[in-house]
Amino acid sequence: MDTRPKAIIFDLDGTLIHFPHEYLFDETDRICRLLNEEAVSREHMQDCFSDFDFFRMLPGEKREALTEKYWQHFDHGRYPKPRPFAFTTPLLRDIAKSGIRIAVATARTRDFGEVEKSLREHTDFSEHLCYVASREKNAATDWKDKSAQITSILQHFDMAASEVMMVGDIPPDVHSAKQMQLGWSVAVLSGGIHRHVLAAAEPDLLLEHADELRSVLSL
């Protein structure tokens, strides 16, 4: 690339750490039993997830009501500890060494201190993060919209949007980057979303995983 970003905003789950698919599917099994709904095969769950249309698995006429009940019963308390990809820490270390600042924008609703504490306790890459922005609890905005987190990061770094790159694993990460007029939008396949689904969001770059940024940034 002709110019490097001054900062990179990374999504968390599926981008820097493994997304816990099995936990999501186990919870879906449990909640379906709790609500006396028909069981959904793991294969169908995976297909819906990869299409970024997870609740397509629920009966159409009851989908909206069941989705609300699903999240009411979802057990966030047992959500798995963050498990970084093998490349995450070396990549973030080298990005930081190059002078590029690093932030995380996550849809997790825990406050800044709790997210940061979890990353500090269970990963070895938090030392390379300059800022972590999570979604406010009880926020009225759609969880997929990260414009508030991006705004917070831009203000913290005191940078123009055009100087910043965003990297994420779902189409809304690309949409948020474009909405906020960031300089670069990068989509990665490491979260399990189908290539054609991410490509349809029209990111500037579509990579297998974030470690491919090494060649993009000439690290």
Amino acid in the structure at residue 45: M
Helix 42-50, helix 21-34: angle, nearest 10: 120
Q: Read off φ and ψ for residue 163, nearest 5 degrees.
A: -95, 0
DSSP line for the chain: --S--SEEEE-SBTTTB---HHHHHHHHHHHHHHTTPPP--HHHHHHHHHTT-GGGGS-GGGHHHHHHHHHHH--GGGPPPP-B-TTHHHHHHHHHHTT-EEEEEE---S-HHHHHHHHHHH-S-GGG-SEEEEPPTT-SS-TT--HHHHHHHHHHHT--GGGEEEEESSHHHHHHHHHTT-SEEEEEGGGS--HHHHHHT--SEEESSGGGHHHHHT-
What are the backbone angles phi and psi of residue 124, rounded to the nearest 5°? -120, 25
Burial (0-12, 13-18, 19+ Cβ within 10 Å), 216: middle
pLDDT for the residue 126: 93
Neighbours of 127 (CB within 10 A): 12
Residue 201 CB neighbours (<10 A):
20
- Report pLDDT for 139: 60
Residue 170 pLDDT: 97
Q: Which class would CATH give 7-19+82-217?
A: alpha beta
- Model pLDDT, residue 111: 55
Query: Look-up: residue for tokens 């924008």?
Result: 105
Per-position pLDDT tens, the chain of length 219: 678 999 999 999 999 999 999 999 999 999 999 999 999 999 999 999 999 999 999 888 889 898 999 989 999 888 899 999 999 999 999 999 999 999 999 988 765 557 888 899 999 999 999 999 988 766 656 788 999 999 999 999 999 999 999 999 999 999 999 999 999 999 999 999 999 999 999 999 999 999 999 999 999
In angstroms, the CA 196 to CA 83 distance is 26
Amino acid 59: pLDDT: 85
Strand 131-134, strand 7-10: pairing: unpaired
Nearest to 166 by CA among 85, 89, 99, 106: 106
pLDDT value, residue 140: 57
Domain ranges of the chain: 7-19+82-217, 21-78
CB 97 within 8 A of CB 103: no
